[in-house]
Amino acid sequence: MTDPATAKHDHRQPRPAPIARIPFIRITSFVLLSNCTRTWNVRVSPLAAVLVAFLTLLAPGCTGRGSLQRHEFTRLCMGVQARIVLFAENSQTASSAAALTFHRLAELDGCMSDYRPASELMQLCRNAGQPPTPVSQDLFDILSEAFQISRATGGAFDPTIGPCVALWRAARRSGQPPTPEELQIAHSLVDWRLLELDANACTARLAKPGMKLDLGGIAKGFAADRGVRFLRTQGIDRCLVALAGDIAVGDPPPDKKGWSIEVPGLPVPLILRNCAVSTSGDAEQSFDSQGRHVSHIIDPRTGVGAPYRRQATTVAPRGEWADALSTAAYLLGPNETPSLEQAFPGTHFTIIDH
Ligand code: ADP
Ligand code: MG
């Protein structure tokens, strides 16, 4: 997400010599322009500035920066609490933008869920080992992000981890660890390189029968990111979309440098704008199996839930990066985060080992 406030302008164009020096004036909340909340530095004559100020005061429903109100909405989505916080001029604008965004999130869930048998993702899994399946642009986009992140993390993040996740979820419910044979079969089906994507045809294919995709480590961040993008198309730039701990933010609240986000374990809140933050760790979904600490994040090298007592928080320019890279950073640990920061420009990792 590009921050319009920091976007660079091209100054190489030759400019005509100024007729007279015109003072630099900062215009905030310019009512005649569509986006009332931005600040522009422009050269205008003092007379024009007075005229603008006058028109601004006269304009019906004059809506300066001060008149933007904070609105918050929550709903269950993707199996977690989804939260939208946005600044809008009135509650009607806010509610309809939020309702449309929740609808967009539900649409993404219908495409990427591994819980809904009818989802596009599950249809693709049922076709494993068969010819390529045409997929929607949304599903193609998240699969292609997942594939690239798998490659860049040396397979620590692996969206084909599904068979092992299913095994360890069952073990957690029953209290019985999988047998070595069950583990061996499930593990033999995990390999992100066997996810075949064709951007021209917009198709995907899992090369081996029995393979199963699990986007649980990337889908919420992707959806939060797309939620913010969607709100922008509705003219709402100052917004936050959170799916549990996967959070994407747009422009900051009026008169603030950023959104204040509290991350458990961090001493001070993060102040963020136009980026995303996610946290992964063993704190909430781990269990003990035969005296071994097993987290819900599976080490793709072994097919077993990783034993680390650790939290990885990632700030990234894109929601899917923040989400998937936190999962990878939990597995890779603090020694690997400098190379992740290099491979994914604009990312920042904080690892806490307990
Ligand atoms: P959470 O979604 O619980 O906040 P994560 O973003 O770290 O935490 O995602 C964990 C989920 O990702 C697991 O529940 C599982 O569905 C999936 N997963 C587990 N191990 C991996 C892995 N190595 N690579 C990709 N996804 C994984
Ligand atoms: Mg994650």
Domain with 158 in it: what CATH number?
Answer: 3.10.520.10
The answer to whether residues 50 and 114 belong to one domain is no
Residue 59 inside a domain? The answer is: yes
Boundary residue ending a domain (6, 33, 66): 66
Q: Tell me, yes or no, whether 350 lies in a domain.
A: yes
Least confident of 27-36, 127-136, 201-210: 27-36
Say whether both 59 and 186 belong to one domain. Answer: no
Q: Tally the domains of the chain.
A: 2
Q: Helix (H, G, I), strand (E, B), or coil: what is residue 197?
A: strand
The answer on pLDDT for 15 being more than 50 is no
**Contact 217 CB / ligand 1 (< 6 Å):** yes
Report the nearest atom of ligand 1 relative to the CA of 331. 23
Mean pLDDT, residues 71-77 taken together: 98
Mean pLDDT of the chain: 84
Q: How confident is the model at residue 257 (pLDDT cuts 50, 70, 90)?
A: very high
178 part of a folded domain: yes
Mean pLDDT to the nearest integer, 40-67: 41
Domain boundary residue among 34, 66, 98? Answer: 66
Same structural domain, 50 and 174: no
Among 149, 151, 218, 296, the mutation site with the greatest number of ligand 1 atoms within 8 A of its Cβ is 296
What is the number of the ligand closest to the CA of 305?
Answer: 1
Q: What is the pTM (predicted TM-score) of this model?
A: 0.83
The single-letter DSSP state of residue 214 is -
At residue 165, does pLDDT exceed 70?
A: yes
Which H or E run contains 324? helix 319-332
Rounded to whole angstroms, the Cα distance separating 110 from 107 reads 5
Rounded-to-integer distance, Cα 121 and Cα 212, Å: 9
The CA distance from 271 to 348, in Å, is 13
81 & 176 share domain: yes
* pLDDT at site 287: 76
Domain residues for the domain of 221 are: 70-354
Residue nearest to atom 9 of ligand 1 (CA): 217
3-class SS of residue 28: strand
The answer to whether residue 63 scores a pLDDT higher than 50 is: no
> For residue 115, how far is its CA from the centre of ligand 1 (angstroms)?
14
**Percentage of the chain lying above the pLDDT 90 cut:** 74
**Ligand with an atom nearest the CA of residue 326:** 2
Ligand approaching nearest to the C-alpha of 306: 1
Distance CA 54, CA 52 (A): 5
User: Within a domain: residue 6?
Assistant: no
CA 165 to ligand 1 center in whole angstroms? 9
Asked if 45 and 161 sit in the same domain, the reply is no
Q: Is 157 in the pocket of ligand 1 (CB under 6 A)?
A: yes
Q: Which range has the worst mean pLDDT, 34-43, 161-170, 333-342?
A: 34-43
**142 and 119: one domain?**
yes
Sorted by sequence, the CB contacts under 8 Å of residue 107 that are 6+ apart come out as 138
- Asked whether residue 254 is assigned to any structural domain, the reply reads yes
Q: Could you give the CA distance from residue 250 to residue 232 in angstroms, rounded to a whole number?
A: 8
Whether residue 70 contacts residue 85, with contact meaning beta carbons closer than 8 Å, is answered with yes
pLDDT of residue 26: 27
C-alpha 74 to ligand 1 mean position (Å): 23
300 part of a folded domain: yes
Instruction: Using a CB cutoff of 5 Å, list residues around ligand 2, an ion.
Output: 217, 280, 323, 326-327
Among 328, 213, 324, 210, residue whose Cα is nearest residue 278: 324
Pocket test for ligand 1, best of 214, 220, 323 (most atoms within 8 A of CB): 214
Q: Whose CA is nearest to atom 19 of ligand 1?
A: 297
pLDDT at residue 17 tops 90: no
pLDDT surpassing 90 at residue 96: yes
- Which residues, in sequence order, are CB contacts of 181 under 8 Å at separation 6+? none
Question: Confidence band (pLDDT; 50, 70, 90) for 289?
Answer: confident
Does a structural domain hold residue 104? yes
Ranges 26-40, 45-59, 108-122: which has the least confidence: 26-40
Q: What pLDDT, on a 0 to 100 scale, did the predictor assign at position 25? A: 25
Same domain membership, residue 58 and residue 77: no
pLDDT in tens, 290-318: 778 889 999 999 999 999 999 999 999 99
175 and 60 both lie in a single domain: no
Query: Final residue of a domain: which of 13, 41, 66?
Result: 66
In a domain, 12, yes or no: no
Q: Which ligand lies nearest the alpha carbon of 300? A: 1
Domain co-membership, 191 together with 62: no
pLDDT tens column, 208-250: 999 999 999 999 999 999 999 999 999 999 999 999 999 999 9
**110 and 36 in a common domain:** no
CB 173 within 8 A of CB 232: no
Q: How far is CA 61 from CA 30, 58, 68, 94, 97, in A?
A: 13, 9, 12, 16, 20
Q: Do 213 and 249 lie in a common domain?
A: yes
pLDDT over threshold 50, residue 59: no
Q: What is the pLDDT of residue 66?
A: 55
Residue 279 CA, ligand 2 centroid: distance in Å? 7
For residue 283, name the pLDDT band (cuts at 50, 70, 90): confident
Question: What is the percent of the chain where pLDDT is above 70?
Answer: 81
310 lines ligand 1 (CB under 6 A): no
Query: Do 88 and 61 reside in the same domain of the chain?
Result: no
